[in-house]
Amino acid sequence: MELAMKPEQMKKKFFTPWVIALTLIAINGLIFLAIRFFWGIGAVTNLSNEHPWGIWIGIDVAAGVALAAGGFTTAALGHIMHRDKYEAVIRPALLTAMLGYTFVAVSVAVDLGRYYSIWHPLIYWNGNSALFEVGMCVMIYVTVLYIEFLPIVTERFIGRVNLPGVLSRLNGTIDKILRALDRGLNKTMFIFIIAGVVLSCLHQSSLGTLMIIAGPKMHPLWQTPVLPLLFLLSAFSVGFPMVIMESITASKSFGLKPETHILSKLGSMVGPLLGIYLAFKLGDMFIRETFVYLTELTTESVMFSIEILLGVVIPLRMFLSNEVRKSPTGLYIASVLVIFGVLLNRINNFLVAYTPPYETASYFPSIGEISVTLGFVCMEILLYRFFVKHFPIISIPDKAGINKAKYSIKGA
């Protein structure tokens, strides 16, 4: 029998040279953010009336949402289809989704001209707007993710509440509250888990609907009425590669053995998912006969080809190979390619494909925009590291081989 896995707090020290480098990049991003808030969006970005959206939307929001798809895909697999053996990857994926979506929300706020009015969609509704739907779904989904994370918090602190000084008198009460919370969550968690998957399907696809209204401003290679479906399918196929990539990276970073047997099983599902995505993508291209644009050498045709070949076809071939799926290196490279493909797809859809009718200059992100985007990525990684050190997230083989039950699915 395989050794049971149990999530534990990571014990390695927080600061390493890498972590310091990440911190510096994060601080650099914060400086540019400060400029944005004091002098307006125009002070740090290359955005204009021609190009109203840049990488803060194309990468931080659109790609951010797609790359956080590991959360709902593993939840669907582990909780809804009840495949126990994947439990070890659910918590890391949940954490990534929670952090990812938090940063999506923060990025939206940063990009909003009137960030302090970010709550307006709650009271001013426009059901015709794809953006309204994305906004509402993301808002609710972030909440759901926090709720899904709560059991990990209660598990961490039940019986271990230890406030200093005068506050120590509250320890007992807090412990009781946590226990009550844990019981309540236990009974109701499945509601949130299913809701999380439904909400994800909704907004992952609606993100694709977003650019449809731009009509002829968007290059025909990407502009298609099936965009929502393509976005959903690509989100499905990037979920597990994200989990695989993170899991291998985390194992390296914390000196653990990669969980190759779980990861290669996850990997075996990526091939079919990517295949379906590719089929729809190519089918759409042939039905709309947009392949004619590939015969010209333009930025668009080159970017499209890279996206398809490097981001879909090659990793698809890799994931279908038994050898690749058995080796951590192969899995890692194939996963990174899928992630790259989806990232590039979102950039292409939101930025490369977009050509306004009165364009005087094409858009390229400014130093400030790039700094903020990189800064957010670094902050996310740092927070991830913080959380896995302080909460039981990453599973390691349970030497004692007992108490497999403790973290069995909440709410089941």
Partner 1 sequence: MNKQNRRDFLKSVTTVGITAAGLSAAAPTKLNAAPENVLSEDRMGVLVDTTVCIGCRKCEWACKESHGMHAGDIEDYDEKGIFNSRRRPDHTGHTVVNEYENDKNRSLPIYLKVQCMHCDRPACVSACIVGAFSKKESGAVIWDDSKCIGCRYCMVACPFQIPAFDYHKALEPDIHKCDFCFDRTKNGKLPACVEICPVETLTYGKRSDLIQVARNKIKNYPDRYLDHIFGETEVGGTSWLYLASKEFEKLDFPKLGKNPAPGVSESIQHGIFAYFIPPIALYALLGGIMWISKNRDKSEGEAH
What does the binding site for partner 1 look like in residue numbers (CB under 8 A)? 37-43, 45, 47-50, 52-53, 76, 79-82, 84, 108, 111-115, 117-118, 120-121, 124-133, 135, 187-188, 190-191, 193-195, 197-198, 201-202, 205-206, 209-217, 225, 228, 354, 356-358, 412
390 and 256 in contact (C-beta within 8 Å)? no
For the bound state, the minimum distance from the C-beta of residue 50 to partner 1, rounded and expressed in Å, comes to 7
Closest to partner 1 by CB, 364 vs 386, is: 364
Closest to partner 1 by CB, 72 vs 240, is: 72
For the bound state, the minimum distance from the C-beta of residue 257 to partner 1, rounded and expressed in Å, comes to 28
For the bound state, the minimum distance from the C-beta of residue 310 to partner 1, rounded and expressed in Å, comes to 28
For the bound state, the minimum distance from the C-beta of residue 84 to partner 1, rounded and expressed in Å, comes to 7
Distance CA(244)–CA(258), nearest Å, equals 10
For the bound state, the minimum distance from the C-beta of residue 406 to partner 1, rounded and expressed in Å, comes to 17
Residue 321 in 3-state DSSP?
Answer: coil
For the bound state, the minimum distance from the C-beta of residue 11 to partner 1, rounded and expressed in Å, comes to 33
For the bound state, the minimum distance from the C-beta of residue 112 to partner 1, rounded and expressed in Å, comes to 5
Strand-pairing partners, residue 218, are: 354
Closest alpha carbon to 138 in 228, 69, 223, 76: 69
Closest to partner 1 by CB, 188 vs 298, is: 188
Residue 248 in 3-state DSSP?
Answer: helix
For the bound state, the minimum distance from the C-beta of residue 385 to partner 1, rounded and expressed in Å, comes to 32
Distance CA(319)–CA(330), nearest Å, equals 9
For the bound state, the minimum distance from the C-beta of residue 381 to partner 1, rounded and expressed in Å, comes to 27
Closest alpha carbon to 240 in 277, 269, 262: 269
Residue 1 in 3-state DSSP?
Answer: coil
Closest to partner 1 by CB, 249 vs 362, is: 362
Closest to partner 1 by CB, 117 vs 162, is: 117
Closest to partner 1 by CB, 50 vs 182, is: 50
Closest to partner 1 by CB, 70 vs 328, is: 70
**Neighbouring C-beta atoms of residue 372, cutoff 10 Å:** 28
Element housing 396 (H / E): strand 394-397
Token duo for residue 204: 């992952």
Q: Estimate to the nearest angstrom the gap between the alpha carbon of 224 and the chain centroid.
A: 24
Give the orientation angle of helix 87-111 with respect to helix 227-253, to 10 degrees. Answer: 120
Closest to partner 1 by CB, 60 vs 246, is: 60
Element housing 204 (H / E): helix 171-210
Strands 394-397 and 5-8: antiparallel
Closest to partner 1 by CB, 228 vs 267, is: 228
Radius of gyration of the chain (CA): 22
CA atoms within 13 A on the CB side of 216: 2
